[in-house]
Structure 1
Amino acid sequence: MTPVPMSKLIVIDDDPTGSQTVHGCPLLLSWRVEALVEGLQHPAHVLFILANTRALPWRDAEARLRSICRNLRQALSQLNLEDWQLVSRGDSTLRSHFPLDAQVLSQELGPFAVLFVLPAFLPGGRTTVGGHHFLHGQPVHLSSYARDSRFGYRTSCLAAWVEQKSGGRIPQTTVTRLHWQEDGNRLLTRLASLPQGAVVTVDASEPEHLHRFGQLMQRRRQQGHQDLCWGAASLIDALVDPGPQILTGRDWAGLRRRDAWGLQPGVILVGSHQPGADRQLAKLLTAPSVKGLEIPLEGLRQGLAPAQLAPSLAAALGHALQQERRTVALYTSRGERLRGDEAGQLALAEAVAQLQEMVLDPLCSSLGYVISKGGSTSDTLLRRVLGLDRVALRGQVMPGISLVQPAAPLGQAGLPVICVPGNMGTDETLLDLHQLMEPEHSLTPGCPGIQAPSWPRPEGRRSITVGFP
């Protein structure tokens, strides 16, 4: 794909796992002006700002987005940078704060001529055909994601979805569909006739559609239009070419940290409660090389403080890592436990985050690597446990699954963290990733690591339960 000529593609991501199609760029967990200036000066064409707003209630998400945008405006002004494209990577199988994120970005950094909505994510089997969104060929509103207790929806028709999510403020009759039966000049003419701020959904079911969308956006910039794009990670692919990925195959296992006794074990965090995550965990726990350690959500629901549960969990985790030298799957109790009103869900999620922080913080030096399943779980790890304000995106260990690594002092290795979106992977994905980082436990003799399939699909116990104190 020909790179789109722009100084910087700026992606404001509502979840830490959205950098699923690129590599070699910085991911910022801080939006201080000085951090943004440094990020914009990085030689990579793409800059990600990990806002994690999907984990916040509506008003807090809005406040965070406004803070990011205002600091970003200052950073752009300091650098006198005018040639930039903004993307709101705010989609997880149509679950998001949309249209809040797009509206705030338009108010603070716009106005924008057109809001393009492109939720297709080809590595995950998500396509848009005829204005309708599909997951492996099935209408997405029939999936478990549509029944999400916070961000559920009732339709796979994107125009109707826009109307539903906007509370009727954007009627579906005003939403335009972009398809690829028209030639480029006719598309440009039709788009130019739309009123400012019009919403345009984009059909995409194959890489060629993404390529054509990238070309279309390039021509619109040449015509002087500044647009806002909202969607999934394949949208980033359409707008910029990151070039060939350097790390592949056995290189990933080479990032695993060592201590005086050799290669260190890892921790596999499973916080996502999607059905596919349950199946991935069950498969992972069949591996003799992995010990399961359960975080009992019922105790938190019954009012126990995280500090009451943390000592027993930390002791069990520490023993497995330091004495047994064994990798641990640390997971929350299975099943959808976050139902109820939004305030109750978010309070329980915050208690889980505090507990994760208390348990992992004193043991970070004992870790060779981390695999983190779920966006909020990954954000807690990177931002709160490791205390990071930025990480480097090393690349995709499998399509749609990123490995990030913080900077480390000279002579030391940064902890490699594999971020697995809650809606990504086959039943074997977590086990495959564990064996990729620990090829000595691969089921294939002599195999240096699991080779990733070309198109992993989204979803589809020998363990210890630490009881209440």
Structure 2
Amino acid sequence: MTTIDSAQKRSAQEVLGNIKEVDATVVKDMLVSELRDLNKKIIVLDDDPTGVQTVHGISVYTDWSVDSIEKGFQEENSMFFLLTNSRGFTAAKTDKAHTEIANNIAHVAKKLDKDFIIISRGDSTLRGHYPLETEVLKSTIEASSGIQYDGEVILPFFKEGGRLTVDNIHYVQYEEDLVPAGETEFAKDRTFGYTKSHLGEWVEEKTEGRFNAVNATYISLNSLRALDIEGIKEQLLQVRDFNKVVVNAVDYVDVEIFVIALVKAMKAGKQFMYRSAAALTKVIGGVSDKALLTRDELIREETNHGGLILVGSHVKKTTEQLEELKTSDFIEFIEFDCHLVLQPDKFQTEIDRVIESAETLIREGKTVTIYTRRERLDLGEGKKEEELKLSVKISDAVTSFVQRLSVRPNYIVAKGGITSSDIGTKGLEVKRATVAGQIQPGIPVWITGEESKFPGIAYIIFPGNVGAVTTLKDTVAILNK
């Protein structure tokens, strides 16, 4: 392994204050012009539902059947999302799902004679089944079509969540500080942990040395802010052998400039796979800015019932936000003792108790928060797969709170990626939803389809690692005005 990574915490003001300004209006005009004749369907595979946190007016399909993919291809929109929820899968299940997805996309694209781009949307703090997902997509697409991929774009920038890449190092912003991603709690994830913050080194670590940091192509902030479109395009034209393209970015304009050069390279015949956070999808999909959603836009069918908030994520930020939410005087709280999963009979009794309590309170017009016990279930070293399987059982239980609900809440908020995916697909039985926009920066809202358990309900998908301490409380306050 190389030893590039010597990342240190930095002052956000110091770093961002030294970056050259650029005329965003000029860039946007260039981007619109370049995207106008791209003529490729953009398919975003989302490993949990939070990836729509930058877009609006876009469809999300919750399965990857040929029928759903064909409907997505036939939409007027240039882009659609397929929700895989693969961050909650085992590696074997992830491999199988992505093989099926790639084969189905290739089949539909051939039938409709339409070019496409696949974006693997992953966590902005670098967790998930990487490189497994994009390598399965690459090999399957190449085997079933004439496409040969030249490289893979790595772009985890996500402004709304304070995820910035500077000097090839990915940072997570904590108030006034930029902390290297490899030094955060996210890097200590028991299933998807890592140690490197330099994205070239992160790739080297994740691929176990099959791709080296020194062979990656790095798109610098200096090149981007100098509007060196031709220079960046030339860098992209030189990429071979599925080597990686690391994109630095601290604002949307950096992604926009990169996409202008990228589209030029694609038009010159280059083919790329993408592992990105949510910013790239908004830019390459040509999605306009939209103001944050209001209560009037969200609550389309007023009831006398309370809302339902489900908190599953265990990251520190979620727990802090939950504690702040508990200071609200209009919410009833129910703790779900998920550790009883180790005792099946008691676990079922606990599930029944939670549902019965929640149903009664919602019917009485009270908003209810159900939250999982905050201590993480730890089976010890070498038990990652077992812990993942237990977490699926817990997630299934949380999902059943919606599945078995006989009263329609005024709205539903789900906190955490895996939690929100299972509630959307299994609890609400959504096949296709429309992204209404965001209620807070980085917090998307689905409007459920007619086929769902509660048609037309506002379903707020609140990522576990997004927002300030007060953001969950503020979001619920908007919904209860």
Would you say same fold, with TM above 0.5?
yes
Q: Which residue of 2 aligns with 1:384?
A: 426
* Equivalent-residue separation in structure 1 for 2:402 and 2:159 (angstroms): 34
Opposite residue 59 of structure 2, the aligned amino acid is: P
Q: 1:376 is aligned with what amino acid?
A: I
Once the two structures are TM-superposed, the CA of residue 167 in structure 1 deviates from its matched residue by 1.5
Partner of 1:446: none
Structure 2: tracts of 5 or more residues without a match: 1-27, 143-147
Q: Name the counterpart of 1:185.
A: 230
Percent identity of equivalent pairs = 28
Write out the 4+ residue segments of structure 1 that deviate beyond 6 Å after TM superposition: none
The residue type paired with residue 350 of structure 2 is L
User: Does the 8 Å CA contact 1:145/1:152 hold for their aligned counterparts?
Assistant: yes
Distance 2:396 2:260 in 1: 45
Q: Which one-letter code corresponds to 1:113 in the other structure?
A: D
CA distance in 2, matches of 1:433, 1:20: 15
Once the two structures are TM-superposed, the CA of residue 297 in structure 1 deviates from its matched residue by 1.9
Name which of structure 1's ranges 207-216 and 179-188 shifts more when overlaid on structure 2: 179-188
Distance 1:291 1:109 in 2: 50
Structure 1, 377-386 or 341-350: larger mean CA deviation = 341-350
How much does 1:151 deviate? 0.9
Instruction: Specify the code of the residue in structure 2 equivalent to 1:331.
Output: Y
* Residue among 76, 94, 103 paired with 1:61: 94
TM-score normalised by structure 2 residue count: 0.86
**C-alpha deviation, 1:254, in angstroms:** 3.3
When residues 246 and 274 of structure 1 are mapped into structure 2, their CA distance, relative to the original with a 3 A threshold, is: closer
Asked if 2 retains the 8 angstrom alpha-carbon contact of 1:306 and 1:354, the reply is: no
Decide whether the 8 Å contact of 2:48 with 2:84 is kept in 1.
yes
Query: How far 1:38 moved relative to its partner?
Result: 0.7
**What is the alpha-carbon distance in structure 1 between the residues aligned to residue 165 and residue 97 of structure 2?**
30
Q: Distance in 2 between matches of 1:240 and 1:71?
A: 21
Q: Measured at CA, do residues 202 and 244 of structure 1 come closer, stay the same or move farther in structure 2, by a change above 3 Å? A: closer
Q: What is residue 416 of structure 1 aligned with on the other side?
A: 458
Q: Residue 303 of structure 1: CA displacement?
A: 4.4
Contact 2:203 2:213 in 1 (8 A): yes
Unaligned runs of 5+ in 1: 440-469
Q: Secondary structure at the match of 1:248?
A: coil
Q: Name the amino acid aligned to 2:114.
A: L
Deviation digits for residues 234-291 of structure 1 (CA, Å, limit 9, x no counterpart)? 1113312212538733434433x334xx3x2111110000000001111111111111
- In the other structure, the counterpart of 1:129 is 166
**Mean CA deviation greater in 17-26 or 382-391:** 382-391
CA drift at 1:145: 0.6
Q: Are residues 1:144 and 2:185 paired?
A: yes
Report the counterpart of residue 96 of structure 1 in structure 2: 128
- Matched with 1:258 is 302
What code does the residue aligned with 1:106 have? K
RMSD: 2.0
Secondary structure, aligned partner of 2:438? strand
Q: Taking structure 1 as reference, are residues 131 and 244 closer, same or farther at Cα in structure 2, changes over 3 Å only?
A: closer
State the partner residue of 2:368: 328
- Residue 38 in structure 1 maps to residue 38 in structure 2: no
Instruction: Determine whether 1:118 maps to 2:171.
Output: no
CA contact (8 A) 1:252 1:437 kept: no
**Are the aligned partners of 2:155 and 2:280 in contact in 1 as well (CA < 8 Å)?**
yes
2:369 aligned partner, one-letter code: A
Taking structure 1 as reference, are residues 165 and 365 closer, same or farther at Cα in structure 2, changes over 3 Å only?
A: same
Partners of 2:408 and 2:299 in 1: how far apart? 17
Query: In the TM superposition, what whole-angstrom CA distance separates every residue of 1:46-101 from its partner, at most 9, and x where no partner exists?
Result: 1101111111111111111111111111121222112x222110234011111111
Distance 1:40 1:420 in 2: 28
Q: Which amino acid aligns with 2:373?
A: S
- What is the one-letter code of the residue matched to 2:376? E
**1:141-180 equivalence runs, <5 A:** 141-180=182-221
| Residue aligning to 2:286 | 241
Q: Does 1:346 align with 2:388?
A: yes
Q: Structure 2 matches for 1:64-79, cutoff 5 A?
A: 64-79=97-112
User: Structure 1 length as normaliser, TM-score?
Assistant: 0.88
1:247–1:394 CA contact under 8 A, matched in 2: no
* CA offsets 1:331-359 (integer angstroms, 9 cap, x no match): 10013325641222122212212222333
State the Cα deviation string for residues 105-164 of structure 1 (Å, max 9, x = none): 111224212201011111111111111111111111111111111111112111111111
Taking the aligned partners of 2:195 and 2:266, their CA distance within structure 1 comes to 35
Is 1:107 aligned with 2:139? yes
After TM superposition, list the pairs within 5 Å mapping 1:284-433 onto structure 2: 284-304=325-345, 306-322=347-363, 324-337=364-377, 340=380, 341-363=383-405, 365-408=407-450, 414-433=456-475
Q: 1:364 to 1:22 in 2, by over 3 A?
A: farther
Q: Aligned pairs, how many?
A: 432
- Give the aligned partner of residue 9 of structure 1: 42
- The answer to whether the Cα contact below 8 Å between 2:402 and 2:428 also exists between their aligned partners in 1 is no
Distance in 2 between residues matched to 1:55 and 1:378, nearest whole Å: 11
Q: Among 22, 26, 36, which residue is 2:59 paired with?
A: 26
- Cα distance, 1:413 vs structure 2: 5.0
Report SS of the residue matched to 2:81. strand
Letter in 2 for 1:50: L
Contact 2:292–2:440 (CA<8 Å) still a contact in 1?
no
Task: Check the 8 A contact 2:299/2:457 in 1, yes or no.
Answer: no
- Separation in structure 2 between the aligned mates of residue 377 and residue 426 of structure 1, nearest angstrom: 20
2:309 is paired with a residue whose SS is strand
SS at match of 2:157: coil
- In the alignment, the residues of structure 1 paired with residue 328 and residue 70 of structure 2 have an alpha-carbon distance, to the nearest angstrom, of 45
Which residue number corresponds to residue 117 of structure 2? 85
Over 3 Å counting, the alpha-carbon distance change for 1:437 and 1:175 in structure 2 is: same
**Are 1:209 and 2:254 counterparts?**
yes
Distance 1:109 1:283, change over 3 A: same
Provide the C-alpha distance between the structure 2 equivalents of 1:144 and 1:180, rounded to a whole number of angstroms: 27
Q: 1:340-382: per-residue Cα shift (whole Å, max 9, x none)?
A: 4122212221221222233322315421110111111111111
| CA distance in structure 2 between the aligned counterparts of 1:237 and 1:359, rounded to whole angstroms | 33
Amino acid in the other structure paired with 1:112:
Y
Q: Give the aligned residue type for 2:140.
A: E
Kept in 2, the 8 Å contact 1:90–1:101? The answer is no
